[in-house]
């Protein structure tokens, strides 16, 4: 078991939990988007830990791409809100 991938997986699960918790507390979707994105990264790390990454290269690329797009969308949402206030 690769300790780097395991560490990444654990941190992704923590960030997912924190994002969902903050969404429940504040109803702010940005935190939810970031949490879900890291949940998707966690899925890719879990598949790697389980030894399934070799046969799932294309799906893993899609999962990670979706995760990055969620983070980008979340940050864009924050930037757009700040522009409206200015």
pLDDT digits (tens, 9 = 90+) for 12-45: 999 999 999 999 999 999 999 999 999 999 999 9
- CB atoms closer than 10 angstroms to residue 50: 9
How many CA atoms within 13 Å lie on the side-chain side of 83? 6
Determine the pLDDT at residue 83: 87
Calculated CA dihedral for residues 7, 53, 38, 36, nearest 10 degrees: -140
- Cβ atoms of 46 and 13 within 8 Å: the answer is no
Determine the pLDDT at residue 37: 97
Residue range(s) defining the domain that contains residue 45: 3-85
Query: Quick one: what percent of the chain has pLDDT higher than 90?
Result: 85
Our count of domains for the chain comes to 1
9 pLDDT more than 90: yes
pTM here?
Answer: 0.89
């Amino acid at each position: 078991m690769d300790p780097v991938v395991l560490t990444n997986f654990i941190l992704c699960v923590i960030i997912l939990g924190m994002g969902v918790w903050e969404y429940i507390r504040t109803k702010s979707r940005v935190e939810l988007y970031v949490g879900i994105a890291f949940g998707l990264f966690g899925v890719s790390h879990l598949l790697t830990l389980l030894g399934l990454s070799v046969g799932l290269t294309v799906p893993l690329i899609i999962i990670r791409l979706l995760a990055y797009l969620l983070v980008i969308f979340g940050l864009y949402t924050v930037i757009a809100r700040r522009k409206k206030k200015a």
